Copies of this chain bind each other. A is one copy, B any other.
Amino acid sequence: MQLSLGELAQRLGAELIGDADVVIRGVNTLKDATATDVSFLANASYRRQLSDSNAGAVIVGAKEAAEVKGAALIVANPYLSFALVTQMFDNRPQPVHGVHPSVVVAASATLGADVSIAANVVIGEHCVIGDGCEIGANTVIGDHCVLGRDCLLRANVTLYHDVVLGDRVQIHSGAVIGADGFGFAPDKGRWHKIAQLGGVRIGNDVDIGANTCVDRGALADTVIEDNVILDNLIQIGHNVRLGEGSAMAANVGVAGSTTIGKHCTVSGGAGIAGHLTLADGVHVAAMTTISKSITESGAYATGTAQMPLNEWRRSATRFRQLDSMAKRLQQLEKSHEGKA
């Protein structure tokens, strides 16, 4: 893959300050880029690296263009343009088109045009696989699943039955979509399973990370709206609804029947209890526990800040005494007022 700076500027809709004939062969950070690399400045804290970078060209906003040593590609949103450039230089091996002879496809399944289905994939009854889909080796797709156009399922993905994906959905290895929600009725000290009769509906342009789980609904479906992005090792419980454009980092858990609004972000390791509603534009800090619904957009947190272990022990001991401390403080205040 190579592109002249002129072509690159054209594809990005960028203003080029520099030689349009220079050839670009890769993308790299300001620090590591060489004369055949394009780099980018999307975070002001790297701005002082501009003058030292050996990059053949740098994608920048108009304000920083003068500080670029080599060629500058001036755009409105440098981070977006960087994303587009990584897609141009994507080095992911291209799949072999067609269906590998080891694939097991049910007779009633329908495969679209231009699909690539790798070794040992298993596709169940009545599945519909859209045009241009790519399915990695050893992935299993249950009965009655529908994949839209240009979906990309990597190796070792599992879709249970009745999972519907929109277009351009990407699912990473080890992800499990449609496993039973965690529903059991207790009776006389024993748990009785509630069969999970709903499915999973996933919109367009959704990205699901490795080993992430999205459970099927108990009665209605679990729903992930368009353009939701989920990192690895996330748990999405049954009948959760994730609003359009929301993003979750790794190790997050969302318990059953919770609805999360549009354009929310949940940082790594956070946990959100069940049967809650989070408004649009809520941002949950890393490792935070959300146990009540949130009606106002904004950022929320729980926990404490890092301390050396010995100091932490003292604070943690006092935390147990907090109610007593508060009451004693009130007592002193009263007594002080009495005297004043």
Contact = CB atoms under 8 A, between A and B. Distances in A.
User: How many identical chains are in the complex?
Assistant: 3
A64 interface: no
A2 interface: no
Interface stretch (A5-13, A14-22, A109-117, A139-147): A139-147
Nearest to A187: B80
Interface in A93-122: 93, 100, 102, 104, 118-120, 122
B89 A195 contact: yes
A336 B326 contact: no
B312 A302 contact: yes
A247 B306 contact: no
A187 B183 CA distance: 39
Contacts of A292: 306
Given A120-B104, A182-B229, A319-B315, A302 B304 contact: yes
Nearest to A181: B231
A114 to B, nearest CB: 20
A104 B93 contact: no
A195 B87 contact: yes
Contacts of A125: 93
21 contacts: A27-B219, A83-B193, A104-B120, A154-B160, A155-B160, A173-B176, A176-B211, A189-B245, A213-B250, A251-B251, A255-B286, A286-B291, A292-B306, A300-B307, A300-B309, A301-B308, A302-B307, A304-B304, A305-B316, A318-B323, A325-B325
